Structure 1
Amino acid sequence: MLLRTTALALLFANGAYFAWSQGLLAPVGLAPESAREPQRLEQQIRPEALRVAPAAPAASGPEPAAPAPPAAPTIPAAQAEAPAPTVACLQAGPFDNAQAQALRQALGAGGVPASAWSLEPMAPPDRWIVYMGRYNDTEALEKKRAELRALRVDTAPITQPALAPGLSLGVFSTQEAANEHLAQLARRGVRTARVVAEHREPTAARLRLPAADAALREQVQGLLAGRPLAPC
């Protein structure tokens, strides 16, 4: 009995709550507060202080990019990196004494600066002599010549001032050949001969242009009568 009474009470309470929440009891003054007008207006506090703010301007598109600085003028590669004039050491020759003198005059007459060229003496390569001397006088020289003639050794006079008066028992292009000849003479009884170098005087010259550019090369080439200029 108690359970039935409790169930009926809960059912009646739920029905009353539903009727109240849905406003079915409003005619008898039982209903929840409504958020609709005019009740909302009665709840406002100082509505006269409300101001409508102006609408914000519409966002514009992205700001235009700053103008790029003007491009530097393009310089042609030929002007930007002009090649330096080619300068090289050149030479020509040999020229004998007469030819060297004629070339010296031609270079001067042709207006080639004296500082741009030089004629360098060219001495023949040294020779090696099987030598006897120096003797004090001609008499001593002739006495030694006679002794060598008896040994059947050929001799020739020395023309180099530093070795005259003296005798040459042979001239060779290498020191080894001269030493070999000296050993042969020693086996034949020649005792006081020795091998010396003969330094010969220059008999020719070489033209040298230490720093010739294309203009100088062309100018000088025309004065060489067909002789070529070659690198130093």
Structure 2
Amino acid sequence: MLRTTALALLFANCAYFAWSQGLLAPVGLAPESAREPQRLEQQIRPEALRVAPAASEPAPTAPVPPQPSAAPASQPEASAPAAACLQAGPLDNAQAENVRRALTAGGVPATDWTLEPIAPPDRWIVYMGRYTDADALEKKRAELRALRVDTAPVTQAALAPGLSLGVFSTQESANEHLAQLTRRGVRTARVVTEHREPSSARLRLPAADAALREQVQGLLAGRPLAPC
């Protein structure tokens, strides 16, 4: 009996020792301890804590000084008036010749000006001829007078000597007059075109600058220069 009690006390002491040392923790038997090393390991060490400094605000950006605006481009100097094509006319033959001589004497290059002949428009003639001589011409004129047909001499070299029985601005009018004369007994007359010689000219300056305009204007006796 005494032996059994001693063994029980020994067993109880061993169990208490094991429990107090945490040897029975694997089976869920461990004493509560203020130290609790396992829990302390899971805590954050206070000595390692540091108060992080507040994030510094970004330094204020220095204001960018405004870029000086580019100086306005200088205005181009007023250029001389551009050369332009100008003309004047019609000038009669005498005026045209005077202008020609003055421009040539003034040293103006021939490429800077031209005198363009102006021929009158063509006309249509009821014509008889060419005759071999003046006697043949007068004989035919006498015949036409007998028929009361008026005539006039033709001065154009290609048609002289010959007679004009009427001059018209259109071919249709000339043909009508020829038909009337035919009914009155006129034979061998026909309608021809009269190409007249130029009787005037037009002065043309293809690219006249201010100096040339001034020079030419003084030669035109008040006639204006107009755009081509």
Q: Same fold (TM over 0.5)?
A: yes
Q: Does 1:43 align with 2:34?
A: no
Deviation at 1:119, TM superposition (A): 0.8
Cα 1:103–1:39 change in 2 (3 A) is same
Q: Does 1:55 align with 2:53?
A: yes
Where does residue 146 of structure 1 map in the other structure?
142
Aligned partner of residue 201 in structure 2, secondary structure: strand
Q: Does 1:74 align with 2:72?
A: yes
Deviation at 1:199, TM superposition (A): 0.7
The answer to whether the Cα contact below 8 Å between 1:112 and 1:220 also exists between their aligned partners in 2 is no
Where does residue 24 of structure 1 map in the other structure?
none
Letter in 2 for 1:88: A
Q: Deviations over 1:2-57 (max 9, x none)?
A: xxxxxxxxxxxxxxxxxxxxxxxxxxxxxx999xxx999x9267959837487366
CA distance in 1 between counterparts of 2:33 and 2:141 reads 162
The answer to whether the Cα contact below 8 Å between 1:92 and 1:206 also exists between their aligned partners in 2 is yes
Where does residue 205 of structure 1 map in the other structure?
201
CA distance in 2 between counterparts of 1:39 and 1:166 reads 154
Q: Does 1:89 align with 2:78?
A: no
Superposition CA RMSD, Å: 3.5
Where does residue 10 of structure 2 map in the other structure?
none
Letter in 1 for 2:70: A
CA distance in 2 between counterparts of 1:62 and 1:84 reads 57
The equivalent position to 1:165 in structure 2, one of 161, 164, 181, is: 161
CA distance in 2 between counterparts of 1:223 and 1:33 reads 134
Deviation at 1:161, TM superposition (A): 1.5
The equivalent position to 2:173 in structure 1, one of 166, 170, 177, is: 177
Where does residue 182 of structure 2 map in the other structure?
186
Which sections of structure 1, spanning at least 5 residues, go unmatched? 1-31
CA distance in 2 between counterparts of 1:33 and 1:108 reads 134
CA distance in 2 between counterparts of 1:54 and 1:120 reads 102
Which TM-score applies when normalising by structure 2?
0.68
Deviation at 1:114, TM superposition (A): 2.3
Q: Deviations over 1:48-72 (max 9, x none)?
A: 9837487366122454466666643
Deviation at 1:191, TM superposition (A): 2.5
Query: Percent of aligned positions with the same letter in both sequences?
Result: 68
Aligned partner of residue 75 in structure 1, secondary structure: coil
Where does residue 216 of structure 2 map in the other structure?
220
The equivalent position to 2:123 in structure 1, one of 105, 127, 130, is: 127
CA distance in 2 between counterparts of 1:107 and 1:39 reads 128
Deviation at 1:118, TM superposition (A): 0.8
210-219 vs 155-164, which moves further: 210-219
Which sections of structure 2, spanning at least 5 residues, go unmatched? 1-31
Q: Deviations over 1:67-89 (max 9, x none)?
A: 6666433114x429x67843332
CA distance in 1 between counterparts of 2:44 and 2:192 reads 136
Where does residue 98 of structure 2 map in the other structure?
102
Give the count of matched residue pairs: 195
